[in-house]
Structure 1
């Protein structure tokens, strides 16, 4: 596409997350679309390089995307950089682009008071013995490294040599990754609760487990504590055995013995190869009356779980009056209310928090420090409903986090890798909120 360029062409580019963009050259828009944001960036920067070649000098490009706005210098050969050439070519009144992009570095200067005093201690008496002069250790020397963007458009340009710092969004994501990667001193137990069925407890259990295990390493157990057709086992990978909670219960004494080995727990749990956590299944084929678990049974199971795992995430089931449910609350360190935007799910979660406030001091603390995860369960459901429910929980709980609709969460095996990028990011945000309470 040829254009009659002005002596100093005005160029600006806007990029959208859906790999579409627009380049405006002296007020004339050109639209771009590509199969990925990486290809889109290449196409737009290639076009700007053509314009710079036509102009015979570097040109300035203003870039806008979800990470912010900044200036770039594009050379006639399509390369990015050499901002000095840009300021020389376009006049001394323009500051180099690098002054707007690079993080400034302070250069230490000599203290004038120390050099201008004009005094020395040449006449001082030398001691008979001298101490060794102070020096820095050669070991564990921290070398400061410039922090460069790694994601999005800024990350692509940083890899090309532009000294771009991370965006605020990237810094937040890094902080949340650090939070979910921590290993605490001693095991922690997280309970995923809501007395209403279908409130997204099982996906919340599985996907929080995946975030913690994929980032913090092994030692994460997802435990189905449901005696009324718990489906965590149906929605996760199965090992080459059929073990459930009922299989583990008779083996608790042996597993707590001094001779028990770490790998012995593998006879009773089902490892998730991609998502790195283990699942302790319930038996959905048995009647609830055939798989009752008493408070004492739960204590034995929990003792085994916290011996072999650093983080235990429990899918609670729906019967808030069951012994195993109440005993779970007694062992919980962080409570998570799982809900959708449906009124009956949200109301059941709110009523549960209010009831726990009245139960005892431990339960009241869990309720006040709870994290609420509100999932958009229907593709056609407005996102505003999800945000409205989250805001409604703010007076009741410590944090409320929203999860966008994702078809991969509805039916079939749950896999973190299969989720859309924005859904993965939302689950990371939710897991980081949970980690704050651990």
Structure 2
């Protein structure tokens, strides 16, 4: 009798609401919990994202979420959320997971599983719209497996054997599950290409090698420090497929959030160029405008909100200059928060999303500064749209404690996946505790993707307007590394 493996397919679920906001959950249950936690005027309706509707392994439809349970909904219903699946995993009968490292269709995934197993495989899933399928191995693959003496007919626990054959950590010699290369468009490959060795080893312009090259007209290769700096520049300058947003957080005031926001924007502007926006999204009154170069106007995000309908299309792009503040040689723009007195209505979540949707047409990158309340709707809206989170921490006891409180809040609100892609920027005060710095970095290990320590800088200590030329070389280099970490996460 031909053996059959029964496997279950799971995935991360990204929810896309009507504003285009994307929130990723680790499972279907977690995604349903996120939807249930939001307020809705009627029963929310879900549908598949377009990329899945065109795949024959899916059955497009509409589902209504009622009391935590999904039920069929009329196809005429307008979807409140689109479901997008990524990071597929196969679960065997013993409950063991195998990651599916492929960008191909589910049909090719199932076929490859059956072919590698050498026998029929059934794959089912509880994900809405994913069709159960039975796959038969390609005949030539079966013959090859039998010739090599690797048939599965005598296996006592066939499903477990199939899983153990592919789970990477079981045996380093075993092949990774379904590792397939999916063709990338030539345009994307060119836009995201890395620096060639010739560019990396172009004649030195810095250090003693650069001095000699300039004085004597030689072409000495750059030293290790300059090559590293060039590599960081290449990372920061790499092409990105569409708008990206980084959001800087710490519910403690005075934790260097605003400084980090400004200097990430300045580094991006000077190294990458293009349209870069630093946006003060404080739920009360932020001070990004105080640290920035002034403009010929005093308009804030509230003033822009009153005219946001004018910017739903690019035709009024020239009028944005009346609402943002250009930052000279730093080559980015600042959007100030509400007025200092805070006597106007605070921008709420829907207003933030509306503005973000409009502004992303004009800016390729945005760095969003946030306030000090993780429960504020505008704070949560910013986290929703973030491609990369930046945890700003000052090496002070209270700021460090509140930073980890912020991390706990993010995890509790369903943003654990964004935390694993986060970058922590730890700023050293005038008198810094080396032991506490070690404790901070040790605790961050495994919580975030990268940690960068910024040295103390007298030019930033008084909280006044930030002058790039006054910064120390060490501070600029640290922010160069931090900015590269942020771009890597995008």
| TM-score bucket (shorter structure) | 0.5 to 0.7
1:359-378, Cα deviation, whole Å (9 max, x unpaired): 22xx2111111100000122
Once residues 143 and 215 of structure 1 are traced to their aligned partners in structure 2, the CA distance between those partners, rounded to angstroms, is 20
Is 1:282 the counterpart of 2:337 in the alignment?
A: yes
Call closer, same or farther: CA 1:389–1:143 in 2, change over 3 Å.
Answer: closer
Question: Which of residues 195, 201, 207 is equivalent to 2:251?
Answer: 195
Alignment of 1:160-175 (within 5 A): 160=216, 164-175=220-231
Note the C-alpha offset of 1:356.
Answer: 1.9
Question: Which of residues 440, 443, 447 is equivalent to 1:396?
Answer: 447
Question: Which of residues 240, 257, 269 is equivalent to 1:213?
Answer: 269
SS at match of 1:377: coil
Question: Which of residues 193, 200, 203 is equivalent to 1:148?
Answer: 203
Question: Which of residues 327, 340, 348 is equivalent to 1:272?
Answer: 327
Alignment of 1:293-308 (within 5 A): 293-308=347-362
Once residues 374 and 197 of structure 2 are traced to their aligned partners in structure 1, the CA distance between those partners, rounded to angstroms, is 54
TM-score by length of 1: 0.63
Once residues 424 and 198 of structure 1 are traced to their aligned partners in structure 2, the CA distance between those partners, rounded to angstroms, is 21
TM-score by length of 2: 0.57
Call closer, same or farther: CA 1:412–1:402 in 2, change over 3 Å.
Answer: same
Runs of 5+ consecutive residues of structure 2 not aligned to the other structure: 1-195
SS at match of 1:233: helix
For residue 389 of structure 2, what is the aligned residue in structure 1?
Answer: 335
Note the C-alpha offset of 1:385.
Answer: 4.3
Say if 2:300 and 2:339, in contact at 8 Å, map to a contact too: no
Is 1:262 the counterpart of 2:317 in the alignment?
A: yes
SS at match of 2:307: helix
Say if 1:391 and 1:400, in contact at 8 Å, map to a contact too: no
Call closer, same or farther: CA 1:416–1:383 in 2, change over 3 Å.
Answer: farther
1:307-332, Cα deviation, whole Å (9 max, x unpaired): 11110100011111111000111110
Note the C-alpha offset of 1:305.
Answer: 1.6
For residue 250 of structure 1, what is the aligned residue in structure 2?
Answer: 306
For residue 406 of structure 2, what is the aligned residue in structure 1?
Answer: 352
Alignment of 1:72-151 (within 5 A): 147-151=202-206
Say if 2:302 and 2:347, in contact at 8 Å, map to a contact too: no
SS at match of 2:400: helix
For residue 236 of structure 2, what is the aligned residue in structure 1?
Answer: 180
SS at match of 1:320: coil
For residue 102 of structure 2, what is the aligned residue in structure 1?
Answer: none
SS at match of 2:391: strand
For residue 478 of structure 2, what is the aligned residue in structure 1?
Answer: 426
Q: Which has the larger radius of gyration?
A: 1
Note the C-alpha offset of 1:147.
Answer: 3.3
Note the C-alpha offset of 1:294.
Answer: 2.0
Once residues 328 and 202 of structure 2 are traced to their aligned partners in structure 1, the CA distance between those partners, rounded to angstroms, is 33
Once residues 416 and 431 of structure 1 are traced to their aligned partners in structure 2, the CA distance between those partners, rounded to angstroms, is 15
Once residues 377 and 232 of structure 1 are traced to their aligned partners in structure 2, the CA distance between those partners, rounded to angstroms, is 19
Once residues 387 and 279 of structure 1 are traced to their aligned partners in structure 2, the CA distance between those partners, rounded to angstroms, is 34
Once residues 337 and 213 of structure 2 are traced to their aligned partners in structure 1, the CA distance between those partners, rounded to angstroms, is 49
Question: Which of residues 459, 474, 477 is equivalent to 1:408?
Answer: 459
Once residues 240 and 387 of structure 1 are traced to their aligned partners in structure 2, the CA distance between those partners, rounded to angstroms, is 45
Once residues 344 and 389 of structure 1 are traced to their aligned partners in structure 2, the CA distance between those partners, rounded to angstroms, is 12
Note the C-alpha offset of 1:293.
Answer: 1.9
Say if 2:283 and 2:370, in contact at 8 Å, map to a contact too: no
Runs of 5+ consecutive residues of structure 1 not aligned to the other structure: 1-141
Note the C-alpha offset of 1:256.
Answer: 1.0
Say if 1:191 and 1:335, in contact at 8 Å, map to a contact too: yes
Once residues 214 and 336 of structure 1 are traced to their aligned partners in structure 2, the CA distance between those partners, rounded to angstroms, is 20
Task: Report the count of equivalent residues.
Answer: 292
Say if 1:265 and 1:308, in contact at 8 Å, map to a contact too: no
Note the C-alpha offset of 1:384.
Answer: 5.8
